[in-house]
Amino acid sequence: MEIIVGKYAGFCAGVTNAVVKTEEALKENSKIYCLGELIHNNQVMQKLQEHGLIVIDDLKEIKEKKKIIVRAHGIPKQVYKQADENGLELIDLTCPKVLNIHRKVEEYVNNGYYIFLVGEKKHPEIVGTYSFCSECGSIIEKMEYIDESIEIFKNSKYKKVVVISQTTFSSEKFDKIADEIRKKIPQNIEVITDKTICNATDLRQKETSRISKEVDLMIIIGGKNSSNTKKLYEISKENCKNVLLIETKKELDKDYIKKFNKIGIMAGASTPKWIIEEVSKCI
């Protein structure tokens, strides 16, 4: 049996930084709050929580003045303000690539552009980025949202548009949405496309597509709540008849796996190396 493990499987630079800095901070502080799950991986989260990480959804849940971690996805502008007003100390681990999008969005708005933010409405990164649009934008998650967003734009004071993306959005879907916007928007409107999909995501998705075309079984490892992991699963499904999405080796059925000659393994950005190695060894 041949096993191919993707070169880009697992932690990206932003997640590595968030996990390493959190572990360091937990060595110096017995308790630290984190706004939302640090990463979408139950096994890593469990370990961090055992060492004193407390996950909260809102600053109002804070009971004692401890440091607060801002995860790689970033937070909305108003949360920075709220923390400042309450004298709370943040350890800001927002990925530099996400911070770059916040900065770009603010610049576009200041230069008179209306923002079409392509991404998942409820994803924390999009919630954070949208706050930097100062309400001069629409979130487009699917093709079906384009017409409505164009209507909102037409009724606004804006005369130019920028189409920008969530860092972990599907590259292919982004291109389709951007093309459709160009087709539907009036000819006299300037449209800029700024494809801010993170390079790590792009490489991982391309590698997943390539490997899933070559194998008879594709195994995607990652949190079931991880959006980038789910995308790897969807990409693999398009190319391979047999695709499994698992969090750990415990979910593997060895008798089922024995049937295949060539198996591909990919993992989302929140999957640690040790879980990928455990799965590979188990096959």
Q: Which residue has the tokens 């552009």?
A: 113
**Residue whose tokens read 């008798």:** 255
Considering the complex, what minimum distance in angstroms separates the CB of residue 162 from ligand SF4? 19
Of the two residues 8 and 153, which places its CB atom closer to ligand SF4 in the complex?
8
Smallest separation (angstroms) from ligand SF4 to the CB of 156: 29
Nearer to ligand SF4, 167 or 208 (CB): 167
Identity of the residue, 102 or 217, whose beta carbon is nearer to ligand SF4 in the bound complex = 102
* Catalytic one of 125, 141, 207, 247: 125
Find the length of the chain: 283
Query: Per DSSP, what are the bridge partners of residue 29?
Result: none
Report the Cα 198 to chain-centroid distance in Å. 9
- Residue of minimal Cβ distance to ligand SF4: 14
- Residue 271 Cβ, how far from ligand SF4 at the closest point, in Å? 12
238 a catalytic residue? no
Element (H, E) at 267: strand 262-267
Q: Minimum Å distance from CB 269 to ligand SF4?
A: 5
């390079």: which residue's tokens? 199
Nearer to ligand SF4, 15 or 162 (CB): 15
| Residue type for position 72 | A
DSSP 114-178: EEEEES-TTSHHHHHHHHTTTT-EEEE-SGGGHHHHHHHHHTSS--EEEEEE-TTS-HHHHHHHH
Q: Which residues bind ligand SF4 (CB under 6 A)?
A: 12-15, 72, 95, 97-98, 167-168, 198, 200-201, 269
122, 92 Cβ separation under 8 angstroms: no
Residues with active-site annotation = 125
